[in-house]
Structure 1
Amino acid sequence: MALLETLVVVLGVALVAAVLVFAKTKLFPVAEDEEPREDVAEYIAMMVSVLYAVVLGLCLVSVWDTRTSAADHVQAEASALHQTYLLADALPADQRTSLREAARTYAGHVVDVEWPAMVAREPLDQEGWTMLEQLRHASAVSDTDKVSAQLASQEVLAQLGYVDDARRGREAAAQERLSPVLWTGLLIGGSLTLAFMFLFGIKRSTTHVVMVMGLSGFIAFTVLLIHQLDSPFGEMLGATPDAFIRYFA
């Protein structure tokens, strides 16, 4: 969802809340002899607000940790792949060219093929793993090669192990979603918080409208923020393939 669309949704929710406040004031005015219920209203509203804040905090922490973990996996994978590219200098000329070409092909596949699939939350195919296996074969040397080449080959295999681990983490992060239980608590808590603003409103209508608009707009913004962060490779706030692009421009 683009930034402009997000702002339109937030403003729309705030305006709908304002219209509902006006409708409630006109259709169900507060009677002059109605007994005050401020003590009960304040206590219930406070409890709902506290519980909603807890749920909101859990949602934000959950989606932010997932997004941060996804970015860390991408950086680790690209860095290890780049180290593999650099270590090719110590290999024989034919293997050096083969390993570097395989590394560039793998990076291009991640950026051009796998990244759009992760943004769309589609499962990744086996082609990336096949390319990783080709990298391992390209780094293999024989027992007759120089000791320096054999040591470089072992280090390349170690770096490819880091690539393997980071790739698994990246694939897992692409499929992670916020728990439906947390989503339910987030939506119900926001609805209850706004409902108490209507049921136990302030008698001054202008102040009531401003408070409800601000609160409803802020809740809508927070929910949309969590929705964006819930896509760890999303277009707006998700991790980017900049690390691969930077190392393999």
Structure 2
Amino acid sequence: MFIAFHQLPLSVMFFVVLAMGTASCWLLIGLVRITVPLLGYEPHEPLPLRESLINACGGLFALIVAFSAAGIWNDAVAARNAVQREADAVENAMVLAATLPADAQATIGGSLRAYLREVVAVDWPAMKLSTPQEDPVFERAEAHLLSAITLVSREASTGSPTTYTPLLNQLLDIRHARLARIAASNAGITWAQWIAMWLISTATLLAILFCNNHAFRMQIVAGHIYVVVVSAAYFVILAHDRPFIGQISIEPISMQALLQR
């Protein structure tokens, strides 16, 4: 469900989140206005609800947002590092393959270029859909890489190790970085974190509305100010939650540049 939000333009994403928050705010305002008389209080009577409850709930929400944002930042850094490490290893492997005999050079070079084409044409669209790492779609690029690794491993064991071992190390680095990249494409906020953030933000909004129930205008103003603040927090998290999805996602620019050489 959240993938649809991640793929929205940033301006549309913000207004959708804000609209959902505003609708929830008015729904809760109606709930509070109905509930207060049922509890035996007059609508214009201040409720015995301390504002410290708002501070406590707000602090908890800020804490879980900070915790989630730190995880998102680490995931984004890990994803970018994995992509760059993979591209660097492919480039190094191409350079080393150019020093091999003509037959081996053509075979390994062809496998690396086929690998890059599959990464750009297949891997990236799959990662934009948060496809699970074990999905068969990722086997297409993996097959070309494993073919090169098998060939170089055989040559390193039977031929000249000093010639093929550095190339084998680079091919293994490509595979390690590739696995890290695909794993990072499925990173992000967990359902437990989303539910916790929603519960805490909703509880805080309810506390604000109850505390201001005796002053209807202030209830509306305070509720909407909080909705704007919370919507901004949710917007930032949604915009950065998945490293390979959305307008500010990681693109295969370095891979495409290698294909053009």
Moved more, 83-92 or 210-219: 210-219
Q: Which moved more, 1:220-229 or 1:11-20?
A: 11-20
Residue pair 1:84, 1:156 contacting (<8 A) in 2 also: yes
Aligned residues of 2:185 and 2:242 also touching (Cα < 8 A)? yes
Describe how 1:231-242 pairs up with structure 2 within 5 A. 231-242=242-253
Equivalent residue number for residue 172 of structure 2: 161
Matched with 2:181 is 170
CA distance in 2, matches of 1:178, 1:134: 36
Change in Cα spacing, 1:143 to 1:233, as seen in structure 2 (3 Å) is closer
Could you state the TM-score of these two structures normalised by the residue count of structure 2?
Answer: 0.79
Deviations 1:57-94 (A, max 9, x none): 11111222222212211111111011101112211122
Aligned to 1:7: 14
Matches of 1:2 and 1:101 in 2, distance apart? 38
What is the identity, as a one-letter code, of the residue corresponding to 2:254? A
Partner residue, 1:129: 142
Residues 70-122 of structure 1 deviation map (CA, whole Å, 9 limit, x = unaligned): 22111111110111011122111222222222111101101101111111122
Aligned to 1:102: 111
Change beyond 3 A, Cα 1:206–1:248:
farther
Match of 1:186 in 2: 197
Quick one: which amino acid aligns to residue 51 of structure 1? L
- Taking structure 1 as reference, are residues 245 and 203 closer, same or farther at Cα in structure 2, changes over 3 Å only? farther
CA-atom RMSD, angstroms?
3.1
**Structure 1 residues 35 and 215, CA gap change in structure 2 (3 angstroms):** closer
* AA at the equivalent of 2:16: V
Separation in structure 2 between the aligned mates of residue 83 and residue 3 of structure 1, nearest angstrom: 37
Deviation of residue 155 (structure 1)?
A: 0.9
Matched, 1:60 2:69: yes
Given residue 191 of structure 2, which amino acid in structure 1 is its aligned partner? P
Partner of 1:41: 50
* Cα distance in 1 for residues equivalent to 2:29 and 2:201: 20
What SS is found at the alignment partner of 2:245? Answer: coil
- State the identity %: 21
In 1, distance between residues paired with 2:192 and 2:150? 46
Aligned CA distance change for structure 1 residues 96 and 35 (closer, same or farther; 3 Å): closer
Alignment deviations for residues 153-178 of structure 1 (CA, whole Å, 9 cap, x no partner): 21110111111111111222223342
Do the aligned residues in 1 keep the contact of 2:32 with 2:210 (CA within 8 Å)? Answer: no
Aligned mates of 1:83, 1:100 — CA distance in 2: 12
**Bigger shift: 8-17 or 21-30?**
21-30
2:64 equivalent to 1:87: no
**Matched residue, 2:259:** 248
Shift of residue 196, structure 1, vs aligned partner: 1.6
